[in-house]
């Protein structure tokens, strides 16, 4: 029975890592096309007055934070990714939301990390015109992962807390 749980957990972790790899590939493919076709012209309106693709090189982190401190951003990304991978195998109460969070944050983190290593900056290109910042697919993955993580914590850990209360209550 315990062996079945371990193999199921390993299978779920494999699925999460595969999903992260596919999302990372999607991010890198979009950036390849941006570098080939958008960089030479700068910007293309997609939905006039609302959305455009606009080539930008971001040497910082989200919202341009930590410009000039690329190694700090790289270190934080690597440490966070290692923690997520360890928790993927060790955390006992995964939900769809925690698995999805893991895949998205790994894909987004590594997507931007690949850019930093290859170019020294992150390729950004999505510009919603009422929002001052320009971002990319990896950033979208990271943002959605944050929302899913909050959902997991708020709604999926209640059972875990109840079980912990019962266990501690039984010991008294």
Just list the catalytic residues: 124, 139
**Alpha-carbon gap, residue 137 to 144, rounded angstroms:** 11
**Alpha-carbon gap, residue 51 to 85, rounded angstroms:** 35
**What distances in angstroms separate CA 30 from CA 55, 79, 90, 124, 156, one per listed residue?**
12, 26, 33, 10, 33
**Alpha-carbon gap, residue 35 to 64, rounded angstroms:** 20
**Alpha-carbon gap, residue 157 to 149, rounded angstroms:** 11
**Alpha-carbon gap, residue 128 to 153, rounded angstroms:** 29
Q: Tell me which long-range contacts 155-164 makes (C-beta under 8 A, separation of at least 24).
A: 155/97, 156/93, 156/95, 156/97, 156/98, 157/93, 159/93, 160/93
């Amino acid at each position: 029975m315990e062996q079945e749980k371990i193999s199921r957990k390993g299978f779920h972790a494999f699925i999460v890592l595969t999903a992260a790899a596919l999302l990372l590939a999607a991010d890198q493919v979009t950036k390849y096309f941006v570098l080939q076709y958008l960089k030479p012209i700068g910007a293309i309106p997609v939905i006039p007055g609302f959305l455009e693709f606009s080539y930008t090189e971001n040497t910082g982190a989200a919202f341009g934070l930590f410009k000039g401190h690329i190694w700090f951003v790289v270190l934080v990304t690597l440490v966070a990714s290692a923690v997520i991978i360890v928790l993927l195998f060790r955390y006992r109460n995964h939900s769809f939301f925690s698995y999805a969070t893991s895949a998205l944050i790994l894909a987004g983190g590594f997507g931007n990390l690949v850019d930093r290593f290859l170019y020294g900056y992150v390729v950004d290109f999505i510009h919603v015109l009422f929002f001052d910042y320009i971002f990319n697919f990896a950033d979208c993955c990271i943002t959605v992962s944050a929302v899913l993580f909050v959902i997991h914590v708020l709604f999926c850990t209640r059972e875990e807390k109840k079980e912990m209360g019962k266990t501690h209550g039984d010991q008294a």
